[in-house]
Structure 1
Amino acid sequence: MNNIVIRGGGDLATGIAYRLFKSGYKVIILDRDKPLAIRRTVAFSEAVYSKEITVEGVKAILGRDIGDIYEILDRNCIPVYIDEKGDIIKNIRPLAVVDAIIAKKNLGTNRDMAPITIGVGPGFEAGVDVDLVVESKRGHYLGKVIYNGKAIENTGIPGETMGYKEERIIRALDSGVVETFFSIGDTVEKGDIICKVGNVHVKAQIPGILRGMIKEGLEVSKGLKIGDIDPRGIKDYAFTISDKARAIGGGVLEGIQYLKMERGI
């Protein structure tokens, strides 16, 4: 039993999937039919739209059914399957289920889903609804495995980069369909019109590299995070897994290895 199901396919979930895949595990990603990932160049959920995506040499492919899932695994790739509620988990019977939806609350993951269950970030309690929790907040405890208790509560304040916090974030100023004017990896200046949501233009608050941008054509609600700007200005950062995702991935790997040894799985 070497299969691991990850609920969610955004950039943090992708960092987890990458680290587990490179450690020899068979990884399956479950996501919604219209993923809202921002860092789409490094999100395996993008396979829902493009059918396949490769991140740092690891390919993910959209699967249509359980037969597809196992065929994709046999090709040494990561299957992405549309299953927001995780209904297929009972058929796969994985070693572990990792909830990396990053919803700040538990959307249905429980300890009956697999021998090992891990929740990433706030919304989970180790020993109650999942076996372990991995800290997702930037800082000293990022990636820490929590064996009892909860992750740090969500503050709603983005992590700081070069002194910028909320200014880095691009949010929808209205509800409606997203129309983009820049691509991920582009250089932007303060005041540039990055996109339009509904009838309202959204401008960059700082200069830098557009590190993430939600998929054009999606309908979003006012206030939703739809993009982010990296003031460090290094284009490669827009196309590679982040330090945060790698740290969380390391924590998940540690947790799985620990419980395998402890329980003799």
Structure 2
Amino acid sequence: MLFPDHLILLRGGGDLATGVAYRLHKAGFPLIVLELPHPLVVRRRVALATAVLEGEVAVEDLRAVRVETPEQARVLALDGAIPVLVSPELPPTLLNSSLVVDARMAKRTLDTRIDQAPLVVALGPGFTAGVDCHAVIETNRGHRLGRVIWQGPAESNTGTPGVVGGKGAERVLRAPVAGVVAWDKEIGDRVREGERLGDVADRPVVAPFDGVVRGLIAPGTAVPAEIKIGDVDPRGDVDACFTISEKALAIGGGVLEAILTHLSTQQGRES
């Protein structure tokens, strides 16, 4: 491990956060994923948050394991694995000499503050570099995706999912009513337009077009109406359902750049 003295606290374990974890882990940083007790993750097969639900998860060649205490998390992180700790708040015992990355994609400022660590990096809209955090990573698809912003905000939330294979908002499955989710299909299944995928409180959820089921929220999850519960990919690439996206890796590259820039600047001041 190249950077054992620089523990990263990664808030969130969704698919974009997992791209961040991949870049940091490969570069030699120990990291701990902090998640909610009941993560509403949709792309479960490429999200380290799935370890909360299943005990452990493998995403490409990353292995994440659920742990129960901050002490267990620190030991496992320094041993080269990726611990996932249920902790909505930042554990005080882990903040010493740690760096913080807010990858929760809440699209608004929650409880992240610039004074929580020597370097606080945040993803996407809702954050302003120099105010809420030291650096913001652009998450909107387009020319600026993955860029590091050291002063000012990321682009505003568009409210519309990015276009993939010619499909935008229509590729997102939303709960028709509040209730418990049940699925007939699994991530990676090929489906036809109008085919039943499952239901929420007995209200059917159907495929909006021909494609591959890219993401499904965990069955048995109680959800409010209109929340995102699934994703259908029109491109028909089954492998893409089980590998980290180009968007997540681009964002992860931006986080890695921000951290290495910080460490390089810090080293320059000390020399």
TM range (shorter): over 0.9
Q: Which residue of 1 aligns with 2:100?
A: 97
Matched residue, 1:18: 22
Partner of 2:58: 54
Q: Secondary structure of the residue that 1:44 maps to in structure 2?
A: coil
Report the AA paired with residue 165 of structure 2. M
Q: Confirm or deny that 1:230 pairs with 2:243.
A: no
CA distance in 2, matches of 1:233, 1:65: 41
Q: Once the two structures are aligned, what percentage of the paired residues are identical?
A: 43
Cα drift, residue 94 of structure 1 = 4.2
TM-score, normalization by structure 2: 0.95
Following TM superposition, the consecutive aligned residue runs of length 4 or more in structure 1 with deviations greater than 3 angstroms are: 89-92
Change (3 A) 1:94 1:207: farther
Shift of 1:93: 2.0
- In the alignment, what sits opposite 1:31? 35
Instruction: With the length of structure 1 as denominator, give the TM-score of the two structures.
Output: 0.97
1:64-87 per-residue CA deviation (whole Å, 9 max, x = no partner) reads 11221123224310010001122x
Kindly tell me the number of residue pairs found equivalent between the two proteins: 264
Unaligned ranges ≥5, structure 1: none
Distance in 1 (CA, whole Å) between partners of 2:162 and 2:92 is: 33
Return the offset for 1:229. 0.7
SS of residue matched to 2:261: helix
Displacement of 1:92 in angstroms is 3.9
Does the 8 Å CA contact 2:30/2:78 hold for their aligned counterparts? no
Gapped runs of 5+ residues in structure 2?
none
Aligned with 1:190 (options 188, 193, 201)? 193
**Counterpart residue number, 1:130:** 133
Structure 1 residue 162, shift from structure 2 partner: 2.0
Equivalent AA in structure 2 for residue 248 of structure 1: I
- Corresponding residue number in structure 2 for 1:261: 264
Q: For residues 31-82 of structure 1, what are the alpha-carbon distances to aligned partners after superposition, in whole Å with 9 as ceiling and x for unaligned? A: 0000011110010000001111111111111111122112322431001000
Kept in 2, the 8 Å contact 1:89–1:113? The answer is: no
2:66 and 2:85 in contact (8 A); partners too: yes
Q: 2:176 and 2:143 mapped to 1: Cα distance?
A: 33
Q: Please list, as runs of the form range in 1=range in 2, the aligned pairs for 1:1-265 lying within 5 A after superposition.
A: 1-86=5-90, 88-264=91-267
